[in-house]
Amino acid sequence: MIRRNTVQRSIVLQTVGNLHNHATADEVYEAVSKAYPNISRGTVYRNLAVLAEDGDIRKIEVADGADRYDHNTEPHYHIKCVRCKNVYDYGRRIDNINSFIEGNNGFQLIDYEIVFRGICPNCQKEPDVN
């Protein structure tokens, strides 16, 4: 389906690109509403969904937290800090993952999403409050 490119969609896309931090929908809304106070939360959320569906941004589903949105649509991995809940790009690639998956179970791999979990360098500096 060909969608009409709206001003709101362009604003949301530009904001996700400018944030560079794997923002949640709330964080994107907060950033957009600072420059465009009349935009509704629903408009931002709907446009995030459309942009992700169209492949203009990547939606990262986080099992134990809010979904995140990434401006980088190339296949890559993520690592989530279990303390501060921030999500970061993880640059190393696992060699031959496509061959491994396809060769061992007959699937044709279309896409994948791998989220590692750990403690980021900033949180490692802070005392563990648990």
- For residue 1, pLDDT beyond 80: no
Residue 17: which of 31, 7, 3 has the closest Cα? 31
- For residue 126, pLDDT beyond 70: yes
The pLDDT of 25-49, averaged and rounded, is 96
Which tokens is 127 given? 């005392």
**What pLDDT, on the 0 to 100 scale, is given for residue 113?**
79
Average pLDDT score over the chain: 86
**What pLDDT, on the 0 to 100 scale, is given for residue 92?**
63
Which tokens is 94 given? 């696992």
Which tokens is 62 given? 């986080």
Higher pLDDT: 122 or 129? It is 122
- For residue 130, pLDDT beyond 60: no
**What pLDDT, on the 0 to 100 scale, is given for residue 65?**
81
Q: What confidence category does residue 76 fall into, taking pLDDT thresholds of 50, 70 and 90?
A: confident
Tally the residues of the chain.
130
**Domain annotation for the chain: domains and CATH numbers:** 1-73 (1.10.10.10), 75-130 (3.30.1490.190)
The pLDDT of 64-92, averaged and rounded, is 87
Rg of the chain over Cα atoms, rounded to whole angstroms, equals: 17
Helix, strand, or coil (residue 81) = strand
Identity at 22, one-letter amino acid code: H
